[in-house]
Structure 1
Amino acid sequence: MGLHILGEILNYRRGLNPGSGLYFRISCGPLKKPKTNMDLKRSSGILLHVTSLPSPFGIGDMGPEAYEFIDFLEASAIKYWQVLPLNPTDDAYSHSPYSSYSAFAGNTLLISPEFLEKEGFINLQDFNIPEVSQQDKVNFKQVSLFKEEILEAAYHNFKRNKINLQKFKTFVKTHRDWLEDYSLFKVLHDTYNTPWFTWPVPYRDRTAEGLKQGRKEFKSAIERVKFNQFLFFSQWLPLRSYAQQNQIQIIGDIPIYVNHDSADCWTNSRYFKLNKSKFPSKISGVPPDYFSETGQLWGTPVYNWKELKANRFDWWIQRIKQNLLLFDVVRLDHFRGFSAYWEVPAGDKTAQNGKWVKAPGHDFFKTLQKEIPHMPFIAEDLGSLDQGVYDLIADFNFPGMNVLLFAFGDDKAKNPYLPFNHIPHSIVYTGTHDNNTVLGWYEGADSRTKRHLKEYTGKNITSKNVNTQLHRMALASVSKLAIIPMQDILGLGSEAVMNIPGSTKGNWTWRLTYDQLSIQKVVELKVLNELFGRG
């Protein structure tokens, strides 16, 4: 039962042979030109990060289960799969996909061992596969050790047997603009085991002699990093192509800021507000509000937008293009930062003493539009906004977000998240990766919120039906696109939360189990999508 059986049924229906190689090809060939634009069609999607897919290896990956999930979406008349950022994660940040040491590289934890074996890079019988039960959440420490072991073996077999050597060379040449600096950064970071701004000055300041010496001294280790990135892109691009073949569009996510200790900040330090010692002079955050008297201090360096503008926003445009290589549509996280951002003096312990600084959002998006005319972006416009943000969104016709968990309990008429206040050119969510599940939210809601929800729906809402009612409410909205987290489709509680903002333990670990998807669920979702004109 479960996802494997579902995949076999769908293959049979299409006349496909699971062993034919369709699922197991690895290629760096060209993708079809995306048809995506932001003239949204009425449709629906599911929010589920890749790490949350079931797999035999303790973490979701780009293997057979990812292809079978696309089959599940297609059979359910669902047109979008939304994922979180696919950049490398680190134990220092609890493996948050929003705190990476590269805005361009791929997360090697997502590489499928099964596909590595299919390509002849490894033999899985040579390894002790982590023992995990269907109910286990991701154990990042265990998974990281296992993936490092198999990737090391894959590299040695690549060197010995020249597997896909020409494809590797082509990949390195195609991605050299970011790959050369990223691979050297990764090797130096592993060598010194400290942030880049504490390295010896020739490496810290990227002197010509320092870069030359590093690339010579660490040549083999640098090639290994490049090879791992080759494997990531060689597995993701066919997966995206398979989604396109099944009329499924993948929505990705771009965090607005990057970590100080990142290849991006090291390589492009002039684009961040740093002092002569390469430490931030200003850092990011959000101001005090109803939820926090001291605001939120994020701590990442803020952009030197003046310098970026002088160089026609080249780094940002390259970053956007890299993401559109991976995704059909991109959600721009903390969109208000493109209009104005909260800047805090470095060294402050809270965000209280910050100030709003205007960003050249209009100039940036006008420049970007010349490079990417179809502009397939979603504006994450949640939180406290001002007229400048609204104007920026309107000027470029970006769809914004409506979250139903924010709709109930307060103003019963003007709350913008109430369905009757939605506009067609928008995306409606029951919740996001940063919210509780619908069931968890309901069980923790106050009496006023529950009463409002009951009055609005005209139904007796309980813990058993609240997820279904909000799912239907989202599908019934005039918003062209309705996206539902998988946890809400399954009616799971707080134990299935993906992330609790402000906490550092237990986040990003939730996983789908093999037995949670079924043909019955396919039928239910397809009926709902067709009923609300989203099929």
Structure 2
Amino acid sequence: MIDLQQRQAGVLLHVTSLPGPNGIGDFGPDAFRFVDWLASAGQKIWQWLPTTPIGPGDSPYQSVSAFAGSPLMVALEPLLMAGWLGKPEMPKDGFNALRVDFAKVVPWRLIQLRAAFAGFVAKNNAGEQAAFSAWRSREASWLDDYALFMALETENAGKAWWHWPEALCRRETSALADARTRLQDEIAFWAFVQWCFDTQLAALKQYANGKGIAIMGDLPIFIAHHSADCWSRPDLYTLDEHFQPTVVAGCPPDAMAPTGQRWGNPLYRWDKMAEEDYAWWSARLKRALNQADVFRIDHFRGFAGYYEIPASCPTAEEGRWVPGPGKALFEAIERMLGRLPIVAEDLGLITEDVIALRDGFAFPGMKILQFGFGTDGTDDFLPHNWSRNFVAYTGTHDNDTVRGWWDSASERERVYAGSYLATDAGDVHWAMIRACCNSVADIAVFPLQDVLGLDGAHRMNVPGTIGAHNWTWRFHWDWLGSEPARVLGLICAASGRSPVALLQLP
């Protein structure tokens, strides 16, 4: 298990942002090559975004399953090596090497996965079949409902589950039994994809761990309405008799969003979950810990208190704050799983109850350096005000790049940041990385875009928007060269986060 109190550093790069020939980053050879690059730069953590299937707007934070892995991350090379898949026929106009075209990539990759499954079935290798069967048995608690859900979604032409035949919506025993028989081949296909995902992720994680690099995953607090989780256990969510949410998740109005943010996720019935000693959450975190060494929980403040919006309200203006499960949830999970390697995303409106919950379990919080230059020297996001139990970031996937931030910041912010960091536009990214590394925060993490000094055209996501470029960014190996790894390694070594040998001292 990773020691979150050890002084160390890492890089934030989502798997889909990796280079590769098949339209999107995956668990293939380029992922292993990136591990080697991290090791050469003295890094100890590779942070990902959620690896669950994407949802509306191609977002990894709106998934059809809290347990399943993204089919898009299944690399094709191991499927070819296994003899299940022939060499894929590429689209006539190819793929964009620097942007994920989800409209093109998703159907093409599913065609390849279906061909691989057909090859797996036709090969009928006894050892492979036994391994697949044993894995299905081990993962049945979540896999059976997920695979059936995906098979039914396919049969119903992608319609949301509450528009399926009523007997299936209400999960009548006879209707489910009939569907499992009728769709057994399609169910097996979706299970096969998850088996490939788990196998490939495990191989990559083992390789990274062997290089001294831990994987940091990401766990969204809420689930999507159209999801296997909501369909299989509607009693755990605030739904009416027609399976529609009565209240939904979001954030209240503020200076950045005058009408607030209406995310639309159904909210949990925490009372029902408490009756089961939060078993669903324990199962979810157990799954997460099989895939990563540590994970960040998105919107951690929602466990102390969450913002509840009437489903009938088109904005977040009419919401209210409601108490969350608090420490009872994490006490139940720790009884089941032991001490939890969690980083609490404690950004936004943070109140004393959130701080008490975070600190009561000694979860590291987050500090974003970009946020520190809007006021004065008392700002909580300036390094001299930090304490050890935090993860320091130059920015996250929801922020502009450091260069993009500098270019769009007010003159006052630039003057303050330039004075504080002793920098200007030429090397502001290195200055921010150095400030995070030299701070007392136990962990420092930087988006790869900031390590490379890229401008705002390379940001990963603009919150509250569904844009053509959100979640699509990819890099090219030529951009890395030798200099970024060398400089990053020197900064981390000088600040006690990497082996001092990287300094090459006389």
- TM score, norm. by length of structure 2: 0.95
**Equivalent pair of 1:498/1:507 in contact (CA under 8 Å):** yes
**Equivalent pair of 2:451/2:484 in contact (CA under 8 Å):** no
Name 1:489's counterpart in structure 2.
451
* Deviation readout 1:344-395 (Å, 9 max, x if unpaired): 1111111111111111121001111112222100000001111110110111
Q: Pick from 269, 274, 291 the counterpart of residue 234 of structure 2.
A: 269
* Deviation readout 1:221-272 (Å, 9 max, x if unpaired): 1111111111111111111111111111000001111110100000111110
Instruction: Trace 1:447-458 onto structure 2 (pairs within 5 A).
Output: 447-457=411-421
Instruction: Trace 1:515-530 onto structure 2 (pairs within 5 A).
Output: 515-530=478-493
Taking only the aligned residue pairs, the percentage that are identical comes to 36
Name 2:77's counterpart in structure 1.
114
**Equivalent pair of 2:220/2:298 in contact (CA under 8 Å):** yes
1:180 aligns with 2:158: no
Q: Pick from 190, 199, 212 the counterpart of residue 154 of structure 2.
A: 190
Name 1:468's counterpart in structure 2.
430
1:349 aligns with 2:314: yes
1:123 aligns with 2:86: yes
| Alpha-carbon distance between aligned partners in 2 of 1:319 and 1:194, rounded to the nearest angstrom | 26
**Equivalent pair of 1:403/1:429 in contact (CA under 8 Å):** yes
Change (3 A) 1:304 1:438: same
Name 2:255's counterpart in structure 1.
290
Task: Give the secondary structure class of the aligned counterpart of 2:152.
Answer: helix
Task: Give the secondary structure class of the aligned counterpart of 2:109.
Answer: helix
Instruction: Trace 1:278-317 onto structure 2 (pairs within 5 A).
Output: 278-317=243-282
> Where does structure 1 lack aligned partners over 5 or more consecutive residues?
1-34
Q: Which amino acid aligns with 1:513?
A: H
**Equivalent pair of 1:37/1:374 in contact (CA under 8 Å):** no
Q: Pick from 453, 462, 471 the counterpart of residue 508 of structure 1.
A: 471
**Equivalent pair of 1:37/1:375 in contact (CA under 8 Å):** no
**Equivalent pair of 1:409/1:450 in contact (CA under 8 Å):** no
Instruction: Trace 1:286-435 onto structure 2 (pairs within 5 A).
Output: 286-410=251-375, 412-435=376-399
Name 2:494's counterpart in structure 1.
531
**Equivalent pair of 1:83/1:252 in contact (CA under 8 Å):** yes
| Alpha-carbon distance between aligned partners in 1 of 2:304 and 2:96, rounded to the nearest angstrom | 44
**Equivalent pair of 1:62/1:239 in contact (CA under 8 Å):** yes
Name 1:41's counterpart in structure 2.
6
Q: CA deviation at 1:288?
A: 1.6
| Alpha-carbon distance between aligned partners in 2 of 1:386 and 1:235, rounded to the nearest angstrom | 41
| Alpha-carbon distance between aligned partners in 2 of 1:195 and 1:349, rounded to the nearest angstrom | 20
Q: CA deviation at 1:37?
A: 4.3
Name 1:499's counterpart in structure 2.
461
Q: CA deviation at 1:293?
A: 2.5
Name 1:84's counterpart in structure 2.
49
**Equivalent pair of 1:36/1:374 in contact (CA under 8 Å):** no
Task: Give the secondary structure class of the aligned counterpart of 2:264.
Answer: strand
Task: Give the secondary structure class of the aligned counterpart of 1:502.
Answer: coil
Task: Give the secondary structure class of the aligned counterpart of 1:276.
Answer: coil
Instruction: Trace 1:95-244 onto structure 2 (pairs within 5 A).
Output: 95-124=58-87, 126-128=88-90, 132=94, 135-163=97-125, 164-192=128-156, 193-244=158-209
Q: CA deviation at 1:130?
A: 6.5
Q: What number of residue pairs does the alignment pair up?
A: 494
Q: CA deviation at 1:135?
A: 4.9
Name 1:27's counterpart in structure 2.
none
Change (3 A) 1:389 1:130: farther
Q: Pick from 10, 18, 21 the counterpart of residue 56 of structure 1.
A: 21
| Alpha-carbon distance between aligned partners in 2 of 1:292 and 1:483, rounded to the nearest angstrom | 27
1:478 aligns with 2:443: no
Q: CA deviation at 1:129?
A: 5.4
Moved more, 112-121 or 244-253: 112-121
| Alpha-carbon distance between aligned partners in 1 of 2:402 and 2:94, rounded to the nearest angstrom | 28
Q: CA deviation at 1:207?
A: 1.1
Change (3 A) 1:130 1:76: farther
Name 1:21's counterpart in structure 2.
none
- TM score, norm. by length of structure 1: 0.90
Q: Which amino acid aligns with 1:524?
A: V
| Alpha-carbon distance between aligned partners in 2 of 1:107 and 1:242, rounded to the nearest angstrom | 20
Task: Give the secondary structure class of the aligned counterpart of 1:148.
Answer: helix
